[in-house]
Structure formats: C-alpha cells, structure tokens
Chain A
Amino acid sequence: MISPCIEYVANTMQQPIELSAWQLSVAVSLILISAAISAALRLGLGQRFLLAAVRTTAQLLLIGYVLKWLFAPGRGWYFVLAMMSAMTLIAGISAVRRNDRRYNGIWVDSIISMWATSWLMTAIALFGIVQVQGAATNPSWCNPRYAIPLLGMILGNTISAVSLSLDRLGHELASKRDQVETLLALGATRWESGRWAVQQAVRVGMVPTINTMMVAGLVSLPGMMTGQMIAGQDPGQAARYQIMIMFLMAAGTSLGTFSVVLLGYRRLFTADHQFQPGRLRKVQ
C-alpha cells in the first residue's frame, strides 16, 4: 500500500509538476469564496477583491516573464543591476507610502536605508555565504538566480520593518512633543530628549522578525523553504537556506530600521538641539 506513494515521491523529487493555465484558473476561482463572504456580510470588499485578484495574477505573471528573460544564459550584468535597483527603489517608496505622518526627506531616508542595508545583506549572502561561482564572461555576483530572490526576500521584510519604525517614530514624537520640549528646556541634548522615541521606533521594527524566527518551522513552513522543496530540493538543504535567509532578514531589518530612524531623528532635531515637530505633516 505504501510503495506506490514512495515511488511517486521519488519521481517528483526529480521534476516539479508544471502548472498549466487551466490548473491555475482553479486556484484563481477560489477568490469567489472571499467574494461570497464579502457579499453575505455586506462588507463591500467585492470590488477590492476583484482588483486584488487581477493585480496579483497580472503582477506575478509579468514578473515571471521578466525573470525568465533575465535568467536566460549570457544576460548582461547591467540588466541584473537595473532590476535590483528598481526593486530597491520600489521598496523604499512603498515603505513611506504606508505612512500618514511624513517629513521632508523621508523618501530619501527610506530609499537610502533600504538600499544600503538590503544590498549589504545580499552581498554578504552572495560572496560570503553561498559563494556563487560564475563563468568568466559573467561575474558570479550577478547570477540572477541567487541575487534577485535573495534581495527580494530581504527587501520584503525590510519594507514592513522600516514602515513600522517610521510610523512609530512620527507617532511618538508628535504625541509626546511636550515631554521632549520639557527635557530640552532643562538642558537635555537632542539625543537625551529623543532617545526613547528612537528606541521605541527601532524596537517596533525589529520585533516582528524576532517573532517570525521564534515560530519558524513550527507554525508554518517559510515560503522559501516550501518553494525549494516543491522544486525538488532536499528538505535538509532547504532548511539550511531558510536559516540563512532568516539571519539575513534579521540583520537586514535591524540595520534598516536603525538607519531610517536615526536619519529621521536627525531631520526632526536641529544641531542646536531644537525639536521641530512642525516638520511632521499628516497626509491623507
């Protein structure tokens, strides 16, 4: 009774099952369940579900084609670099877009933080850990099969961390303006008066990563590990890759939040130890 199943597993280890458009449409039709619940409870989410379904399908199909093109042998390194830059820019911008309290320079701060930390982490992974080997014509670091997914996963995590941190920094400083000013008036330096807000903001950005690391593998199998196993990778190796990714993400989000919060702090406090809450604007 068991043996056919084992054979089946052994077969699929070699070659992942390809999904046809027909198979995919079965999955896509599941959106009707969400739409039905929305209709039954009159949530008014029907249209948004439709839009979300169209967007996620179109975006993923499109990126699939783009990456297929990019992964083709002999593709120039500048294409890989351009793709990575575009991903980083979009990440930097979307981290701010989720925020309703902004200051001049917040976009620059977010993009700089995102760029510096995610590229550093990807570089460490490519050169220091995975040590991708490249052909003479194509330097190893731009092997897009490794560089793009690694960068993407680090960015995805850093977006939410940076976004949470910026939100908390703005919120803390706006709501506790009197406390900051009272300390400054007593002779506190800008760091002494704003340190606690910086601490809160960095903490709130780092906590989700810690939580993810705590339950990794217990509650859910992380996406990368799942993907590698479906693709036929040995689960032990898939787990090792996932462990590497976890630590890259932990370091990346920590460094990213720390950087963006410090940059923001420097914009909201002047060198003369003055607090400038007027620079925080609410946007709709």
Chain B
Amino acid sequence: MILEADHIGRRHPDGQAWLLDDVTLAVEPGTRLVLTGPSGAGKTLLLRALARLDPLDRGEVRYRGQAIHHDAVPRYRASVIYLHQRAALMEDTVEAALRRPYALNVHRQRMFDGRRAAEMLFTVGRDAAFLEKKVAELSGGEIQITALVRALQLDPTILLFDEPTAALDGPTAASVEQLIDRWLAESAQRAMIWVSHNEAQAQRVGHTALHMEAGRLVRAPHAPSRGTISRGA
C-alpha cells in the first residue's frame, strides 16, 4: 500500500456539516481508480486532502505507512502530485512553465529535459513550436496539456487528476489518456486517481471505480472492477 486515507474528514469552516465525511481509501501500486459523483460531492476535496493541500479535521493520510507533516510535505507532494482542474500558469511561455518546478528546492537535483517534454507534447499533437508559445495565448485545453506534461516530467509516483481532459476535444483527450497510460507503464509502482464526469472515459481509464455523494464514498474500496462503474455523474 503506497497511499492510504484513514477515516479522513473535513468540516465546513462555518458549520458542523462534513464536506468530507469519514473517507477511507487505499492506493496500491498499479491502482487506476476513477472517482465519480455529482458536483459538490467532495471529489476535488478528497484529492486535495490526499495531496495534503487542506488541513483535516479528523483522520490521517499516510504515505508508505508514514503520516506526512511539516518538512516532509513538499517532498511528499513531489511524489504525489495533484493536478488542478484549472491549472494556473504564471510564466511567460510554455517552456518557462515547464521549467518552473526545477527552480523549487525539492526538484533541484533534476534538470529540465527539453527533448522529453517535446516528445510528450508531440504525443498529444503539439509540435516543438508549442514550447515557445506564450502562456497568455493558450486555450483552456492547451493549459491543461501544459500542466499535465509539467507534472509527468517530474516522474511522480501517484497522480491525482481532477478532470484533466475537461477542456479537450475527443481525439486530444484520447491522446492524453495514452500519455498517462505510458507514464503508468514505466513503473509498476505508479498509480492514479482520476475524477471524471465522462462515463465512457471512466470505463476506459479506470480499473476500479468509486462513487462520491455528499462527502462520503458510497462504494466500498476495491469492490468493483473494470466495467462496473455506477452512474450518477
């Protein structure tokens, strides 16, 4: 077990209501978990909680058996990357955006590999000129692609995707899925959780599926296998 959430919960800041209600979840090497559920069910909050981006009101998130606190958090987030629904790129060009993480202390041992980035971008139908493109001129889909490549090049162990293809057309979405498949295939240790509203995509990319409703995981972990994803999104 690489990543586990142990009865985690998060309250609404103003009230007693639980936004994330007693969620227990385990991610093993090779896990391909799809998370479905209506808007506001807490899917994003669950991913954010797993990435330790939000404080918890109860429970614990453990990585390789260890609770993650203080100085361990940035290193943990370098291995378990949460990809925002709306990624923010503050840099000038695509290449600058891709280089940005290497300026962070946690990645300073690594170096930006332009050829590798270009190759990944090629997979999703973008040529080498894309690297020079101004971030301000990117479409919503291109921003998602850039953010995805930026995360993949860091070789994370687990990726937490929050609708990574929401702004993409069909063929590009398929090529993004292919890129993610390739990343997963590179190491047996890798795993992912994918929030999706698209039933067909959920069936394609996930091996297991969980459904969220009002902050709770409705389906027990590990239960369903490929092709048995509940509807309700």
Chain A interfacial positions (CB closer than 8 Å to B): 176, 178-179, 181-189, 192, 270-276, 278
Inside 8 A of A185's CB, which chain B residues have their CB? 51, 53, 77, 81-84
Which of A176, A178, A179, A187 interacts with B106 by CB under 8 Å? A187
| CB-based contact B70/A271 at 8 Å | yes
B78 contacts A by Cβ under 8 Å: yes
A198–chain B nearest beta-carbon distance, Å: 16
| CB-based contact B90/A181 at 8 Å | no
Which of B53, B74, B100, B101 interacts with A181 by CB under 8 Å? B53
Which of B53, B69, B75, B89 interacts with A184 by CB under 8 Å? B53
Q: Number of residue pairs across A and B with beta carbons under 8 Å?
A: 79
* A-contact 0/1 string along B24-66, CB 8 Å cutoff: 0000000000000000000000000001111100000000000
Inside 8 A of B100's CB, which chain A residues have their CB? 183, 186
Q: Count B-side interface residues using an 8 Å CB cutoff.
A: 33
Question: A271 CA to B151 CA in the complex, in Å?
Answer: 24
Nearest chain A residue, comparing its CB with the CB of B47 = A185
Question: A102 CA to B106 CA in the complex, in Å?
Answer: 32
A273–chain B nearest beta-carbon distance, Å: 4
| 20 extra interface residue pairs, beta carbon distance < 8 Å, beyond A187-B77, A272-B70, A276-B55 | A178-B86, A181-B53, A181-B84, A182-B84, A182-B89, A183-B100, A184-B53, A184-B77, A185-B77, A185-B82, A185-B83, A186-B107, A187-B74, A187-B106, A189-B74, A189-B104, A270-B55, A273-B74, A274-B53, A274-B54
Nearest chain B residue, comparing its CB with the CB of A182 = B88
A172–chain B nearest beta-carbon distance, Å: 12
| CB-based contact B73/A273 at 8 Å | yes
Question: A183 CA to B104 CA in the complex, in Å?
Answer: 9
Which of A186, A270, A272, A274 interacts with B101 by CB under 8 Å? A186
Nearest chain B residue, comparing its CB with the CB of A272 = B73
Inside 8 A of B1's CB, which chain A residues have their CB? none
Which of B54, B83, B89, B101 interacts with A187 by CB under 8 Å? B101
B22–chain A nearest beta-carbon distance, Å: 21
Whether A186 touches B55, Cβ cut-off 8 Å, given contacts A181-B84, A181-B88, A273-B74, is no
B87 contacts A by Cβ under 8 Å: yes
| CB-based contact A182/B55 at 8 Å | no
B212–chain A nearest beta-carbon distance, Å: 20
| CB-based contact A186/B154 at 8 Å | yes
Nearest chain B residue, comparing its CB with the CB of A278 = B13
| CB-based contact A179/B90 at 8 Å | yes
Nearest chain B residue, comparing its CB with the CB of A177 = B88
Nearest chain A residue, comparing its CB with the CB of B75 = A187
Listed by A's residue number, 8 A-B pairs whose Cβ atoms lie within 8 Å are A178-B84, A184-B53, A184-B77, A187-B74, A187-B104, A273-B52, A273-B77, A274-B53
Whether A192 touches B105, Cβ cut-off 8 Å, given contacts A186-B151, A274-B52, is yes
Whether A182 touches B107, Cβ cut-off 8 Å, given contacts A188-B74, A274-B55, is no
Question: A183 CA to B105 CA in the complex, in Å?
Answer: 12
| CB-based contact B107/A176 at 8 Å | no
| CB-based contact B73/A179 at 8 Å | no
Inside 8 A of B197's CB, which chain A residues have their CB? none
A104–chain B nearest beta-carbon distance, Å: 12
B216 contacts A by Cβ under 8 Å: no
| CB-based contact A186/B90 at 8 Å | no
Instruction: List 4 tightest A-B contacts by C-beta distance, closest first.
Output: A187-B78, A178-B88, A187-B106, A179-B88
B190 contacts A by Cβ under 8 Å: no
Inside 8 A of A187's CB, which chain B residues have their CB? 74-75, 77-78, 81, 101, 104, 106-107, 154
| CB-based contact A272/B104 at 8 Å | no
Question: A186 CA to B149 CA in the complex, in Å?
Answer: 12
A13–chain B nearest beta-carbon distance, Å: 60
B63–chain A nearest beta-carbon distance, Å: 13
Question: A176 CA to B89 CA in the complex, in Å?
Answer: 11
Whether A186 touches B75, Cβ cut-off 8 Å, given contacts A181-B88, A192-B105, is no
Question: A245 CA to B83 CA in the complex, in Å?
Answer: 52
* A-contact 0/1 string along B75-119, CB 8 Å cutoff: 101100111101111100000000011001111000000000000
| CB-based contact A272/B51 at 8 Å | no
Question: A275 CA to B73 CA in the complex, in Å?
Answer: 13
Inside 8 A of B105's CB, which chain A residues have their CB? 189, 192
Nearest chain B residue, comparing its CB with the CB of A191 = B105
Nearest chain A residue, comparing its CB with the CB of B160 = A185
Nearest chain B residue, comparing its CB with the CB of A186 = B101
| CB-based contact A186/B69 at 8 Å | no
B150 contacts A by Cβ under 8 Å: yes
